[in-house]
Structures are given as structure tokens and as C-alpha cells.
Chain A
Amino acid sequence: MLKYIFKRIAYMALVMLTVTTITFFLLHLIPGDPITAMVQDLPEETRQNYLAAYGFEQPLGKQYLLYLRQLLTGDLGQSLRYPGRKVADIVANYSPVSALVGGIALLIGVTLGLACGVLAALNRDRWPDRAVMVLALLGTTIPTFVIAALLQYALSVTWPVFPTTGYKGARYLVLPVVCMCVGPLATYARYMRSSMLDVVNADYILTAEAKGLSEGRIVMKHMLRNSLLPCVTMLCVSVAGIFAGSFIVESIFALPGLGRYFISAISDRDYFVVLGLNVVLTGVYVCAILLSDILLMLLDPRIRTGVKA
């Protein structure tokens, strides 16, 4: 089991290295240097000084090694556009908002989604199933910005119940949270339904029925537990996703989260922030996958014994 975990960690490191390498060279493939890209009419001497200060005059290979060493010491780099603004600080300042909004939305979305999925599976081909599946389909096909716009139009323009944009209190969070929980709700409902339907026909359910267990007990103890397993994998990735924030929802509702900052860094062409945030977000994502693998191994005896054998 330990060997398996070590193998996964080594693999994760390889992924991170590849991603960092590709991102680094991609960003340096951009024609011209970052200083010229920002200000055109800079005196040649000043330009050279800037380049030297950031180490851009060195050969690309050396820059790459320097960057890797810098990353290993935990320094994620700093903004070119706003000197002194460090990527680590950006993450520390902006991710709590993303995590708060995304966390609440995910909690509501997953809980409702799982409940809807179970409801649909237990009433297969009857109206609750149909209703849940139609809602889930709409939830996955209507783009988030459309949902956001409709919510804003209905609940803050036509009937001004909630504020349109901003981040000044709990009331400002309602619309973004509703908007962001639609996606997980739809996905988890669909997923849980099919996962439950897989379990319904399993032999151990037949055994449980033959033993004369009550239906409630069968559903709670046998079906739910087993069909929740595949959802664990998804949940870890979802949790990693809330940290990154939602690019679109944060932009629309003007929430000061990491997603919105990422978009603004892109439109600012602030390459080093983009690079740094990319490394951070990929790192979180890869860690989540590792965590879900380990969790799944702890929860599912079949995988555990498979590793030992």
C-alpha cells in the first residue's frame, strides 16, 4: 500500500514537472520579450536594465533551471505588471473568497445532487426520475453565464431581492452560490443515478432482500454506501475546482476571487502571474487526484487487496 502511494506521488511529481516545463517554454515562445510587450518606447538602456533585473538576458535553458530552483524553494514568482506583488500573496488574498463561495455552492450542489440521483434511481422510469433527468440535462447544457444573467434579471432587476454584483455581505453571495451549484447538482444527480442503477442489480442486494431486510435498510446500508464510492473520485476533483474559483461566475458577479484575478492577469498579459497561478492550480488538481486515489483505496477493499496481491 505504501509502495502504491509512493508510486502515485512520484507520478504526480512527473506530471507537475511536465506541466511546469511546457508552460514555461510556451510563455517564452512568445515573440519579443515581456518588457517590450508592456512598454514600447522605453530607452534602450532602461530596457536592458529591466531585462537583466528579471534575468531575461540569460539563455533560455538557464532561465528554466533558475525558475525550477526558485519553484523548489517555494517561491512562485511575482507579477511583472505590478512589481512586488507575489503570486503566493495573490493566492493567499484571493483564494479564500473563491473557496467560500465555491465551498458553499459545492456543498449545496452535491447534497441536493446526490439526493436527486437517489430519488431518480429508486423511482426509475417514473415521473420523479424523468423530472430529475430533464433538470440535470438542462443544468449541464445551459451555460453558466446564461443562468447568471437570468438570475440577475429576475432577482435583482425585476424584483430587487438581491444585489446584482459586489462582495459586501452574505446577501451578495446568494446569487453566485445559486448559480454555481447548478453545475454540480446536475452532474452529481446524473452520476449518482447511474451509479445506483448499477448497484440495484448486484447479487448482494438480492441476498439482502432474501434475508428479509427492510427496504429502507437495504437502501441505506447496501445501496447508498456502495454507489457513493465512485462519487468520491469526483468529489476530490470538485473540491480542487472550488479553490481555483469559477472564472465566469466571479467575473459576472464581481467577486474578488482567484478565478477573476486569473482572467484579469490574462488580459493584462501578466505572464509570470499566469505561469505561477497555472502551477498552483495544476498542483492542487493533481493533489486532489492523488487524494481521491488514496481515499478510494481505503474505502474499497477490492482495490486494497488488489494492491497487496
Chain B
Amino acid sequence: MRAEDFIIEGGSPASEQELLATKPVTYARDAWNRFKKNKVAVAAAILLLCLTLLVIVGPMVSDYPAAERANARARNLAPNAEHWFGTDSMGRDLFTRVCLGGRASILIGLAGAAIVIVLGSFYGGIAALLGGRADNLMMRTVDILSSVPNLLVILLISVVIDSKSIATMIFAMTVTGWCPTARIVRSQMLRISQSEYIMAARLMDIAPIKIVLRHLIPNTMSVILVDTTFRIPGFIFSEAFLSYVGLGVQPPQTSWGALAAAAQSMFQFYPWQLLFPAGGIALTMLAFTLLGDGLRDALDPRLRR
């Protein structure tokens, strides 16, 4: 049966004016409109943008790399006009250090989340599509891998590969980090493939590959996007933790975690040395969490009021 086979009785076809009266609203536009209304999420997005700009532009403003040089006559200075965040125990400008550390921290957060999301999405997606025994085996593997406490895995891998660079650290953090994402993606795909419109598509004899490309993947994207936003702060926190226990970023490179760790011992005398990097971590994690909340509300039409 084709559309032409139906005879429409009564009612005239919609006039051109009627058709134009309501503009078709795409899913993305609809989500964007909902996101815009969420003031907290928008504020978080703007805050993130500002932070990113700051860590990129900051070192250029502060006469880097001269500000990075140790200066014995300007040790542990309090914040002042010349050194906005003061100086550290080697006389380096803390503003520059915090910006450089922020670059590393945010980069680790983004890279870690990207790796985890790509791996997890493929794994979960493939498991959902294969189904049956393969799916069972794949998900049991995930169950076993995620039965190991996350921090222990990160610590252990860092010890074994003796992580000294950012790359090895990201590796340690992502080894089992993709498991939750694989679960989320798989369950979302399974949920969609059981919905009525997929059944309709199957009954219409649409090629499976087309169903996957047109329906399953686009409808999983929103879940993946939200998961990404929530994973980034997790990686920033793990980096801070690793650097804090001395397994993370090594000097002369730095990160917010490493800066906070270095400031810890002298904290009672020079509290600002800890407060600035710690504030960076807290603000970034807060902003990403709020952004994730906003995205989840915007992308899930079921939550619409």
C-alpha cells in the first residue's frame, strides 16, 4: 500500500498558509530551546568557556615563559599587583602556573572522557546489536571488570607503568573507565530497539543497517552526550587524586592536582597557593556537573513539563 491508495474523505488539504503556520521544530532545535531556558546550565556553560579561555590566554598575558622561571628573591609572595595569585616556593608566578596546570587538568578531563566514551559506545553498541550469546559474554566481561574498585585499578596501573607522562596517566584512568558507558549505551540501544517505531520500521522491511543508522544511533547520541559531560569532572578528579599521591603529572609539567599537592605541606603559611588550584578543580567540576544536569533535562523529552 502506498499513500496514493488512501482516499481522504472530508476536509480539504491544508492550505499553504496553514502549513507554514507552525515551523517544523527539529529535535536539536527543541533541545536547544529547552537548554536556553535553564539559567543555571547556561551560566555553567559560560563559566566553563571563561575558564577555558583563561587557561589558554592567561600565560600569554603574564609574560610566559619568563614568569615560569624560578626566582629566589620572590618566593612565596602573597597575591599582589605583579603576581595576581602570588608566587610559589620557587618564586614562580602562581597565576601562570595555575593556568598551565588548568590546561593539563582540563585536557586530561576531555581526553579521558573522549576515549572512554568512544570505546564504551562501540563496545556497548556492538553488544546490543549482536545480542544473544555474544552480548551475554561481552556484558559478563564488563561485570567482572567493573567489580574491581576503580581507584585501585588506576593506582595499580599507574604503579605498573610507572606513569610519568600525561598519556600514561590517561591510559591508567581509561583502562576500565569505559565499562559504565558501555552499559549505558547498551541498555539505551536495547530500550530503543524494543520501541514501537522500530517494530514499525522492521515491519516495513527496512534494511537493518538503515534502522541502526537512522534510529538507533541518533537516539543514543543524547545519552552519550550527557554521559560525556558527567565523565569529564570524574577524570579531572582522578587526575587530581593521582597527582596528589605522587603518581600523576611530574615536574616540570604541572596540573591543578600537582599544584594542590605541592601547596599542601606549606598550606598553613601560604593558604592561597592551595586555594587557587583547588578552586580551579572545584569550579570546573561544578560547572561540568551543572552543565550535564542541564543537558540531560534538555535532551530528554520525557522530562518536559
Measured between beta carbons, the chain B residues less than 8 angstroms from A149 are 264, 267, 271, 274, 278
B278 touches A145 (CB 8 A): yes
Measured between beta carbons, the chain A residues less than 8 angstroms from B271 are 149, 153
Binds A, one of B10-18, B28-36, B141-149, B209-217: B141-149
A266 touches B260 (CB 8 A): no
A248 at the interface (CB under 8 A from B): yes
CA distance A128 to B16 in the complex (A): 52
Instruction: Give A10-62 interface residues, CB cut-off 8 Å to B.
Output: 14-15, 18-19, 23, 26-27, 29-30
Q: Which 6 A-B pairs have the closest CB atoms?
A: A146-B278, A141-B285, A141-B286, A15-B147, A26-B160, A142-B282
A251 at the interface (CB under 8 A from B): yes
Task: Name the one of B144, B148, B155, B268 contacting A266, with C-beta atoms under 8 angstroms.
Answer: B155
Given A29-B160, A145-B244, A286-B147, CB of A152 within 8 Å of CB of B267: yes
A50 to B: closest C-beta gap in Å: 21
Measured between beta carbons, the chain A residues less than 8 angstroms from B159 are 266, 269, 271, 274
A-contact 0/1 string along B74-108, CB 8 Å cutoff: 00000000000000000000000000000000000
CA distance A149 to B264 in the complex (A): 8
CA distance A224 to B170 in the complex (A): 42
B147 touches A289 (CB 8 A): yes
B246 at the interface (CB under 8 A from A): yes
Binds B, one of A81-89, A115-123, A208-216, A277-285: A277-285
A-contact 0/1 string along B146-187, CB 8 Å cutoff: 011101100111011010000000000000000000000000
Binds A, one of B60-68, B114-122, B192-200, B233-241: B233-241
Given A27-B160, A141-B289, CB of A285 within 8 Å of CB of B147: yes
A67 at the interface (CB under 8 A from B): no
Measured between beta carbons, the chain A residues less than 8 angstroms from B298 are none
A267 at the interface (CB under 8 A from B): yes
Which residues of A are interface residues toward B (Cβ below 8 A)? 14-15, 18-19, 23, 26-27, 29-30, 137-138, 140-143, 145-146, 149, 152-153, 157, 164, 244, 247-248, 251-252, 262-263, 266-267, 269, 271, 274, 278, 281-282, 285-286, 289
CA distance A15 to B176 in the complex (A): 14
A274 touches B156 (CB 8 A): yes
B245 at the interface (CB under 8 A from A): yes
Measured between beta carbons, the chain B residues less than 8 angstroms from A278 are 152, 156
A-contact 0/1 string along B213-241, CB 8 Å cutoff: 00000000000000000000100010011
Main secondary structure of the interface of A (DSSP, over half): helix
Measured between beta carbons, the chain B residues less than 8 angstroms from A252 are 264
Closest residue of chain A to B149, judged by CB?
A: A285
CA distance A1 to B148 in the complex (A): 26
Measured between beta carbons, the chain A residues less than 8 angstroms from B152 are 278, 281-282
CA distance A289 to B143 in the complex (A): 12
CA distance A138 to B268 in the complex (A): 23
Given A19-B147, A19-B148, A143-B240, CB of A152 within 8 Å of CB of B268: yes
Task: Name the one of A146, A271, A281 contacting B149, with C-beta atoms under 8 angstroms.
Answer: A281
Closest residue of chain B to A252, judged by CB?
A: B264
Main secondary structure of the interface of B (DSSP, over half): helix
Task: Name the one of B144, B245, B286 contacting A138, with C-beta atoms under 8 angstroms.
Answer: B286
CA distance A170 to B149 in the complex (A): 30
Task: Name the one of A146, A164, A269, A286 contacting B282, with C-beta atoms under 8 angstroms.
Answer: A146
B295 at the interface (CB under 8 A from A): no
A-contact 0/1 string along B285-299, CB 8 Å cutoff: 110011000000000
Closest residue of chain B to A30, judged by CB?
A: B160
B151 touches A26 (CB 8 A): no
Task: Name the one of B144, B244, B247, B267 contacting A18, with C-beta atoms under 8 angstroms.
Answer: B144
Measured between beta carbons, the chain B residues less than 8 angstroms from A27 are 160
Query: What are 28 contact pairs spanning A and B, CB under 8 A?
Result: A26-B160, A30-B160, A30-B162, A137-B286, A137-B289, A137-B290, A138-B286, A140-B289, A142-B282, A143-B237, A143-B241, A145-B260, A145-B264, A145-B278, A146-B278, A149-B264, A149-B274, A153-B268, A247-B151, A262-B155, A266-B245, A266-B247, A271-B159, A274-B156, A278-B152, A281-B152, A282-B147, A286-B147
CA distance A235 to B240 in the complex (A): 26
Task: Name the one of B160, B162, B260 contacting A146, with C-beta atoms under 8 angstroms.
Answer: B260
Measured between beta carbons, the chain B residues less than 8 angstroms from A266 are 155, 159, 245, 247
Measured between beta carbons, the chain A residues less than 8 angstroms from B147 are 15, 19, 282, 285-286, 289
CA distance A29 to B203 in the complex (A): 54
Measured between beta carbons, the chain A residues less than 8 angstroms from B249 are none
Measured between beta carbons, the chain B residues less than 8 angstroms from A146 are 260, 274, 278, 281-282
Measured between beta carbons, the chain B residues less than 8 angstroms from A138 are 286
Measured between beta carbons, the chain B residues less than 8 angstroms from A164 are 268
Measured between beta carbons, the chain A residues less than 8 angstroms from B241 are 143, 247-248
Given A26-B156, A252-B264, A282-B148, CB of A143 within 8 Å of CB of B245: no
Measured between beta carbons, the chain B residues less than 8 angstroms from A141 are 233, 282, 285-286, 289
Known interface pairs A266-B155, A282-B149; 16 further A-B residue pairs with C-beta atoms within 8 A, sorted by A's residue number: A15-B144, A19-B147, A30-B160, A141-B285, A141-B289, A143-B237, A143-B278, A146-B278, A152-B267, A153-B267, A153-B268, A247-B151, A252-B264, A266-B245, A274-B156, A278-B152
